[in-house]
Structure 1
Amino acid sequence: MKNLLSLLFFCFLISCKNEKSSNSYSYNLEASGTIKSFTLDSDVRYNGFYLYTFSDDNGKEYLSFLNYRTNQILFYDFKTNEFLFKLNLATEGPNGIVQPTGFYIEDFDNIYVSSYAYSGLIKVDTTCRIIQKVPYGITSKGYKVLPSYNPASHPYIAPVVIDEKIYITQSAVDRFHPITDTPLSVVIDTIQKNCEGLPLTYSILTEKELQAKDTRFSRIFNGEEFIYSFYVSEDIVVASVGHSDAKRVKVKSKYLDSPAEEQEVSEKGPQLNLEIARYGDLIYDPYRDVYYRFAYPKTTLEDNIRWWGKSVYGRKKFSVIILDKEFKIIGETLFPESIYNSYVFFVHKDGLYISRDYQMIYGQSEDYMTFELFNLVKGNV
């Protein structure tokens, strides 16, 4: 009997140890103290939704973003933070964009913009000449690709180019197509000039998630798989290139209960959108072979402020979940409130850069776009 009790007690200790181990994290994001500031001139009004970094053939690094109000694409030397030049997109004529609605740059040979005046992507060169138009079109099954797509960095839904094919996301708009039958992504063949909807649709969401009436997501490609992060779901969706195989993987923040809460439509809508619990963008760090998923615990904002248009500066309160290459949680960092713009970030060989430009009502200047470097460090959180 004594031996049996000893054995049971030993098993209990092992169980507690395993439970503690499964709930403890080994990695954290730590501020490095490194700050990068890029000067904005008087023509540029802060908007970090169309911002990307890239390198040229010589390894020189750039930061670039679209100032859509003036039809300009700005370029900076990433190392020195120095402003280099602007591309002034034409509004009229044979190379006229009219007004851009989005922007994506892979390198100087692959610059894409979208426009209210054209249902597709427009590829331009560094002289602002249009070198290719990629129409959205209609699939063989009769699905009309929605022109609402914007190649934006928030939500992070950048186009993915694989072997002359462009993979773009689709919004769920019930008046155009049944939501559960709408593909999450379509693929456009730039050589054959046709497009096809991929088999993964919004039906991947549960009934409760659909009832939240917020079908936004971010999407990335890690070189082998597409990963989707729905704002109302604890799960991420991992899909094959052709989207015929897909699985849901639970990635729950320890700071969120349920994100599948319906957003109210009222005069307080913009404020509630910044207060409600939601998940956010998921990005891949190829230098450290990890993923970062942003999460937004429920919070409270001041009632005496007009919050319309303030979402450009991110959320007041957020955390970043750290996943290993198998999508297992290995850490989660809760950030101090009212400092960082959680919608604007980029991965670099140095680490993860996150914008420090939160709501401008708290005193930040619109003369700069500022980022802080965070290092992935090992140690319990």
Structure 2
Amino acid sequence: MIKNKLIILSLIGLSFISCNLKNGKIENIRKGELNPTVELIKVEEKKFILDSNTAPQPQYTQLYQDSSYKRKFTFLNTYTNSIYIYDYETAEYIREISYDKEGPNGIQRPMGYLIKNLDSIYIFDQLTNSLILSNDDGKVKNKISLIGDKDPKNTEWSLSYPQYYPLTVAPLIETTQELLFTGMYAWAIPDSLLEKFHFTSRIDLSSSKVSFGHGYPATLYGSEFNWDDPIYTAVYSDLHPDGNKLIYSFPVSHDLYLANLDSSLYKTFYGGSNFAGTISSLEEKKSSPSHAEMGVHIAGTDLYGGIKYDKYRKVYYRFLRNAMSDVSKDSNWKEKPLSVIIMDKDFNYLGETNIGTLKNYNWENSFVSKEGLNIEYLHENDINEVYLSLHIFVPEEI
């Protein structure tokens, strides 16, 4: 049963009601009413040559600026337990940073990282659910448990602490004093946890103390809804330009949720598509749908993705995995069209562009540079996996 307290908290500060919520359905009441003035245009492609141990679609990438103000494009090779470094400007390979899998410097299952500098590299080890501070010599300097020092092999920790699956589009975020790391509750969240489960960890850089904040809105994930898969419960976040707020994009909501780092209250803004329809949850009686049923539902449902702020152009980009029409058990949800919604700094709709399908673009590897929005492009004819390719897009007036 949805708690009255949560309903009140979710409604505080609403700029306007953008969707109706009823019987497991989230309606887009602004569908067909939005007027586009901007579209996304591809302006450049960058290709990074890969070695024989590396494939496209890496787990995680990061663009960072070194001490000499040169931009480096890096990505994680989980096969070799290493981070590859390239010159972003020239796409030339520079070096790799390798880590042991065992022993005092072991990082058993790296899944994401944040390079502050080459002496301070924070790496998330999924197997131990810890954030490990290391350097470019592969030396471990500190380990910070993200599950309160609980045994990672005892899965009861997942009832109290978020599960993390870091992505380039939803990365570890550095602020002046801490790291922000947004996770999720992977399956259907019960009402008994809804009020107390928080998915964003805050790691103090000076003390290594970990605290948690922000939770699922009951108006999206309460008992009225059945979102029994990580594709629905994933949480995408980006830092607001004022540096003290996080913007959240939930896959099942046409709205965006804005929260101060020190507050549990959300303010919502419409951030939806002119074409997305009603988002309906799984049938309530189907607590464990079959693989085929889940595939049909995913293929036929509009699902939002990451939200990225472009400080160079003062716009937001939000990904949308559009619903396919005429879906069946034979439908491949990788054929879903992929769109990018563009909003101004106040979340006003500017337009949206369909850039291809999920087969064409690994949208989870996306980031903003001064050149534009970088999205990993998947070349169908690159059967030998020679390149990691980035398409760069910029918004232009129609």
> One fold, TM greater than 0.5?
yes
- Separation (CA, whole Å) in 2 of partners of 1:25 and 1:209: 34
- Separation (CA, whole Å) in 1 of partners of 2:35 and 2:393: 21
Evaluate the alpha carbon distance shift between residue 303 and residue 43 of structure 1 in structure 2; reply closer, same or farther with a 3 A threshold: farther
SS in 1 for 2:166: coil
- Whether the 8 Å contact between 2:170 and 2:237 is mirrored in structure 1 is yes
TM-score normalised to structure 2 length: 0.77
1:266 to 267, 275, 290: 290
Is the radius of gyration larger for structure 1 or structure 2?
Answer: 1
- Separation (CA, whole Å) in 2 of partners of 1:354 and 1:378: 21
Percent identity over the alignment is 26
- Separation (CA, whole Å) in 2 of partners of 1:336 and 1:198: 35
- Separation (CA, whole Å) in 2 of partners of 1:39 and 1:177: 50
1:335 to 335, 355, 374: 355
Evaluate the alpha carbon distance shift between residue 321 and residue 232 of structure 1 in structure 2; reply closer, same or farther with a 3 A threshold: same
1:254 to 265, 274, 290: 274
- Whether the 8 Å contact between 1:340 and 1:354 is mirrored in structure 2 is yes
What amino acid is the match of 1:293? R
| Deviation digits for residues 138-160 of structure 1 (CA, Å, limit 9, x no counterpart) | 49xx998636324322xx33222
Aligned pair 1:62/2:72, yes or no?
yes
| Deviation digits for residues 31-61 of structure 1 (CA, Å, limit 9, x no counterpart) | 22x2111111111133333011111122211
Aligned pair 1:38/2:63, yes or no?
no
Unpaired runs of at least 5, structure 1: 1-18
- Separation (CA, whole Å) in 2 of partners of 1:208 and 1:277: 21
TM-score normalised to structure 1 length: 0.80
- Separation (CA, whole Å) in 2 of partners of 1:176 and 1:240: 24
Instruction: Kindly report which structure 2 residues correspond to 1:54-203, keeping only aligned pairs within 5 A, or say none.
Output: 54-138=64-148, 146=161, 148-153=163-168, 156-172=169-185, 174=189, 178-203=193-218
1:357 to 363, 373, 378: 378
- Whether the 8 Å contact between 1:278 and 1:296 is mirrored in structure 2 is yes
Q: Which residue of 1 aligns with 2:19?
A: none
- Whether the 8 Å contact between 1:62 and 1:76 is mirrored in structure 2 is yes
Q: Which has the higher contact order (CA 8 A, sep 6+)?
A: 2
| Deviation digits for residues 89-135 of structure 1 (CA, Å, limit 9, x no counterpart) | 11122111123233333443442222244232011111111122222
What is the RMSD of the two structures over their aligned residues, measured on CA atoms? 3.2
- Separation (CA, whole Å) in 2 of partners of 1:270 and 1:107: 42
- Distance apart, 1:367 and its partner CA: 1.7
| Deviation digits for residues 196-215 of structure 1 (CA, Å, limit 9, x no counterpart) | 22254443635488423321
- Whether the 8 Å contact between 2:131 and 2:143 is mirrored in structure 1 is yes
What amino acid is the match of 1:234? H
| Deviation digits for residues 231-253 of structure 1 (CA, Å, limit 9, x no counterpart) | 01111101112134421112121
Q: Which residue of 2 aligns with 1:295?
A: 320
- Separation (CA, whole Å) in 2 of partners of 1:147 and 1:226: 17
- Distance apart, 1:184 and its partner CA: 2.9
Aligned pair 1:377/2:396, yes or no?
yes
SS in 2 for 1:118: coil
Aligned pair 1:48/2:48, yes or no?
no
- Separation (CA, whole Å) in 1 of partners of 2:180 and 2:376: 27
- Whether the 8 Å contact between 1:103 and 1:152 is mirrored in structure 2 is no
- Separation (CA, whole Å) in 2 of partners of 1:208 and 1:282: 26
SS in 1 for 2:233: coil
Which deviates more, 45-54 or 208-217?
A: 208-217
What amino acid is the match of 1:164? Q
SS in 1 for 2:105: coil
Evaluate the alpha carbon distance shift between residue 366 and residue 271 of structure 1 in structure 2; reply closer, same or farther with a 3 A threshold: farther
Aligned pair 1:345/2:366, yes or no?
yes
- Whether the 8 Å contact between 1:75 and 1:84 is mirrored in structure 2 is yes
- Distance apart, 1:175 and its partner CA: 8.3
- Distance apart, 1:177 and its partner CA: 7.5
Aligned pair 1:243/2:263, yes or no?
yes
